[in-house]
Amino acid sequence: MKLFKLLFLLSSFAFLLHSCDDTENTDTEKPENNFSIEGKISGSNQQKIYVEAPSDRGTIPVANVLIKSNGTFKLEGNVPGLGYYFIRLGEDKNNIIPVTIEPKNHLKINCEASNFKQQPNASGTNWAKVMNQYLAQLQAFQNSQDSLMTIQKTMSKEALNDEYYKAKERIDVFARKQMMRDPSNPYNIVLSMVLLPTTSFDGWNKTNLSVLEQVAQGFERKYQGQQAALTIRSQVDQISAAYSEFEATESGTIQAPDFTMSTPTGTALKLSDLKGKVVLIDFWASWCGPCRQENPNVVRLYKKYEKQGFTVLSVSLDEDVNAWKAAIKKDGLIWPNHISDLKGWESPIISLYGFESIPFTVLINQEGKIIGRELRGASLERKLEQVFKK
């Protein structure tokens, strides 16, 4: 599995877990209510409370009710099986709490409107306590990030990254412990998302994979045949396959395919011409905003490690040679290795290296073996530190 496919499956994970089949109900009769949420939200000012299912088309409405003037409410609706949903208070699309709902759930919420996202004080289901604990962990994480924002100018980038990962690990530890304690708890749908890699497996804790596998097995036993169990099994299998490919890449056993393109002056340059150096193959284009934003970081790291044998091979997907040259000059891309076939997305290099979007990077060692993919920002910096400390 190519890494870009991993990114797609991660982004689709939540959407596939709301248990719907998204087909419209062809029956003329409204399905019978099979779950309820009730309680009191003080200070809600007679707003509506909603249950929604996330999807790749936005959110799908499930049920809603107007909260009474005294803050009490009772919402009822129908779900086809265990799935992932949002409870939203009012019209603010971000004022949501992530929940798992299945038939016969009767959730209770008792809180202040101002603390709805952080402290809903939920009860009544076998996952409500876990959700309360998770939301407290999430708030602690957010507080730590807010604190870092106030002092970030006094800290180095490396120190900021370290503090971020320390805070993230605390919430990861909570998720792992809870999921191993009760692998079939419905709220593990939400906690599973905490443990998923973000843009790559760089810095990802391999223990997460065994925990996710335990959850998949737990759901297969408890929710056999249901969409939630089938989806989690499929996703865990795909993540496992992607991680195996990542490990093979990291081990430096895969040879980077050689290729030849022309420099801005028309001279042919091959990847293998750079053998003996650690090379970052950087696929980019002058019209690619995220690529241009990352360029200062690449320039900085090139300057830092150039004398230790590091270089960059910039492979442009431009079609306009003048735009390509102008971007090289404007962004100060001072390394000598710039090539392109000026074929844009029709370039054979795309299928050769298996990517569908840019920026995309591949790091190779002195022997031309791949030792990293999708490295940029802090992940690229950490990887180069590892390489040149050896």
What CATH number is given to the structural domain containing 282? 3.40.30.10
From its phi and psi, is residue 13 left (phi > 0), alpha (psi between -120 and 50) or beta? alpha
pLDDT of the residue at 21: 43
Helix H or strand E segment including 62: strand 58-66
How much is the average pLDDT of 299-314?
97
- Write the DSSP assignment of 149-214 as a string of letters: HHHGGGS-HHHHHHHHHHHHHHHHHHHHHHHHH-TT-TTHHHHHHHHS-SSSSTT--THHHHHHHH
What is the predicted pLDDT for the residue at 164?
81
Buried b or exposed e, range 217-245, using 16+ CB within 10 angstroms: bbbbeebeebbbbbbbbebbebbeebbeb
Q: Is the dihedral of CA 200, 201, 203, 207 positive or negative?
A: positive
Dihedral sign (CA 168, 173, 175, 176):
positive
Q: For residue 296, what pLDDT is reported? A: 96
pLDDT at 248: 79
Please give the residue that has the higher pLDDT: either 68 or 243. 68
Give the C-alpha separation, 54 to 99, whole Å: 11
Last residue of a domain, one of 247, 262, 290: 247
Distance CA 390, CA 88 (A): 51
User: Do 300 and 326 belong together in one domain?
Assistant: yes
pLDDT tens per residue across span 187-216: 999 999 999 887 678 778 889 999 999 999
From the number of C-beta atoms within 10 Å of its C-beta (0-12, 13-18, 19+), residue 50 rates as buried
Between 12 and 214, the more confident residue is: 214
Tell me what pLDDT residue 155 has.
77
State the residue for tokens 């129908």.
78
* pLDDT mean over 210-239: 94
Does position 4 have pLDDT exceeding 70, yes or no? no
pLDDT value at residue 275:
94
Same domain? For 181 and 260 the reply is no
Provide the pLDDT confidence category of residue 17 given band limits of 50, 70 and 90: low
Structure-model confidence comparison of residues 384 and 148, the more confident one: 384
Last residue of a domain, one of 231, 247, 263: 247
- State the pairing for strand pair 48-55/58-66: antiparallel
Q: Which of 43-47, 95-99, 200-204, 206-210 has the lowest mean pLDDT?
A: 200-204
Q: For 327-385, how does the pLDDT look when each residue is reduced to its tens digit (9 = 90+)?
A: 999 999 999 999 999 999 999 999 999 888 999 999 999 999 999 888 888 889 989 99
Q: For the chain, what is the mean pLDDT?
A: 89
Q: Are residues 159 and 77 in the same domain?
A: yes
DSSP character for 30? P
Cβ atoms within 10 A of the Cβ of 251, count?
A: 11
Return the half-sphere exposure (C-beta side, CA atoms, 13 A cut-off) of residue 359. 23
If asked whether residues 312 and 334 sit together in one domain, one would say yes
**Which residues have a Cβ under 8 Å from the Cβ of 289 and sit 6 or more positions away?**
none
Where is pLDDT greater, at 7 or 93?
93
Same domain, 216 and 346: no
How far, in Å, CA of 363 to CA of 142, rounded? 33
Specify whether the CB–CB gap between 364 and 278 falls below 8 A.
Answer: yes
Say if residues 124 and 139 touch (Cβ distance below 8 Å). Answer: no
User: Is 60 exceeded by the pLDDT of residue 27?
Assistant: no
Residues 260 and 238 in one domain: no
Give CA–CA dist 164/375, Å, rounded. Answer: 18
My answer on whether 122 and 21 are in the same domain is yes
Residue 105: is its pLDDT beyond 60?
Answer: yes
Residue 22 pLDDT exceeds 70: no
Is the confidence at residue 114, as pLDDT, over 90? Answer: yes
Residue 11 has a pLDDT of: 44
How much of the chain, in percent, has pLDDT values that exceed 90?
A: 72
Using the 3D structure, point to which of 203, 221, 247 is the last residue of a domain: 247
CA distance 9 to 3: 10
* 16 has pLDDT over 90: no
Considering the domain architecture, whether residues 228 and 349 belong to the same structural domain is answered as: no
Give the domain extent around 262.
254-389
218 and 312 in a common domain? no
How many domains, in total, are found in the chain?
2
- Do 196 and 55 have their domain in common? yes
Domain co-membership, 23 together with 165: yes
pLDDT level of residue 9 (50, 70, 90 thresholds): very low
Question: What residues contact residue 312 under an 8 Å CB cut-off, 6+ apart?
Answer: 279, 280, 282, 298, 302, 333, 335, 337
Amino acid making up residue 120: P
Predicted confidence band of residue 390 (pLDDT cuts 50, 70, 90): low
- Residues 106, 8 share a domain: yes
pLDDT band at 167 (very low <50, low <70, confident <90, very high): confident
Say if residues 313 and 282 touch (Cβ distance below 8 Å).
yes
